[in-house]
Amino acid sequence: MSEGTQRPHVLLFLIAGTGVVTIARAMTLTFLAIKLQGTFGLGPAMIGFLLGIGPLIGAFASPFAGSISDRVGRKSVLILTLVAMGLSMVGLALAETVFVFCLAQSVAAVALSIYGPTSRALMSDICPESDRLKFFSWRYTVSNVGWAIGPVIGIAAGVASTILFVTAGAVYGVLALSLYWLQTPAFEDADDGAASSATSLSASVKAAMRDPRLLYFIGGGTMLVAVYGQWSATVGPYLADNVEGGVELFAYLASINGLVVLIVNPIARRFVERVGALSAVVTGCALFLLSQLGFLAAVNFPGFAISMVVFTLGEILVLPSEYILVDRVSNARNRGSYFGAHSLSSIGSFLGPTLGGMVLGVFGGAAMFVLFAGFAAAGALFFAIGTRMPPPMSETGSSVDAVAGTRRPRLSGTRRYLAPDVDIYRQARSMARSCGR
């Protein structure tokens, strides 16, 4: 099979695999907080802390995993993470103590934090620039089909039942085996291939972290991930304790989240194309803030459902736009390092449930939702400042344009992230959106 024929087959496999992985994840990991609360009798603060440990470890592992994937290959890293996820699901199914359960959950969380940026980098590698936005949008849509279906399957089969975890483990194993046999086209950027092999792992990560734009994007992403990254770890216990039929309501909210994405995503994509990535991020942050105030005031299903719709609209805008900003400051040589470094923002998946759980346990749900509203506002500020930052300086004193891989005079102002967005969507249409949960 020719390389040109291989590309669409591999892209479609990655997109379909994302959907299957998401279904397996949504029907199991979505209900971990409720299981820890109901089966092991843990409180909100401890639940948030335990569920945040895995993403915290993954946040520090992802930059190095991204750089490793630049060298040993994305496919090998993806296979290893799928195997790890499969084994962790079996561990969750057999766990009889909190320690074993949380150890298996941490392995799953670390593997997922590595799987996301690596799979997105692989798609960027093999996808033609003119089609990246389209294929990443399909990936996001398929992912949310999984989020719409998975929680319903979880409720129907029994919340966090053993058979669900065993089934999920088998699914991950089959995907790992399928990916092993799948032929992926070779990819190498002609301008950057030699530089890539000569750059050490630590140097590539340090180079990414020297980019002030990326640092602010990591800060803003951390604030936003704290809001949406593990909302189930805080909203689930809150609903279970404060709302009649809270467990079922939680499952319906998770399905609403996925359904809204399926319906609104095409419209949101056109909105992002029209207003630009930065404006879309700020708008999404405003919607996050409003949704938290809505959760605070809600007392029944309609109120929570409307708030979840607003929350999801913010998520739809933030996820593609955030990663477009990261993609435009990276190139083929360092894309894995940049996406991996940006995955440090998954620290928010530790901060959100840990701080949110502590506030929920001590001050109640109202204070928790106000906290998350503050995170949303802070996230918008970080991204606004980040777009005003210049590229990092090279050894010769000139700024390095990571998008083109060339050196240019230093530019300033937000024009690089407003007017250049027209180039992204109307001229090249080449910036990847990479979401994931």
Residue boundaries of the structural domains of the chain: 3-428
Q: Residue 29's pLDDT is what?
A: 83
Residue 398 CB burial class (10 angstroms; 0-12, 13-18, ≥19): middle
Q: Look over the chain and give the mean of its residue pLDDT values, rounded to a whole number.
A: 79
For 358, what's the count of Cα atoms within 13 Å in the CB-facing half-sphere? 9
Q: 146-160: b or e for each residue (b if 16 or more CB lie within 10 Å)?
A: bbbbbbbbbbeeebb
Outline where DSSP puts E strands in 346-387: none
Q: Which residue has the tokens 């105030």?
A: 293
3-state secondary structure of 238: helix
47-61, 122-136, 298-312, 325-339: range with lowest mean pLDDT = 325-339
Q: Residue 362's pLDDT is what?
A: 92
The CATH number of the structural domain formed by 3-428 is 1.20.1250.20
Q: Residue 411's pLDDT is what?
A: 39
CA 224/CA 331 separation, integer angstroms: 25
Structure tokens at 268: 């949101």
Q: What percent of the chain has pLDDT over 90?
A: 27
44-53, 241-250, 420-429: range with lowest mean pLDDT = 420-429
**Amino acid found at 329:** V
Q: Residue 332's pLDDT is what?
A: 67
- Look up the pTM and report it: 0.71
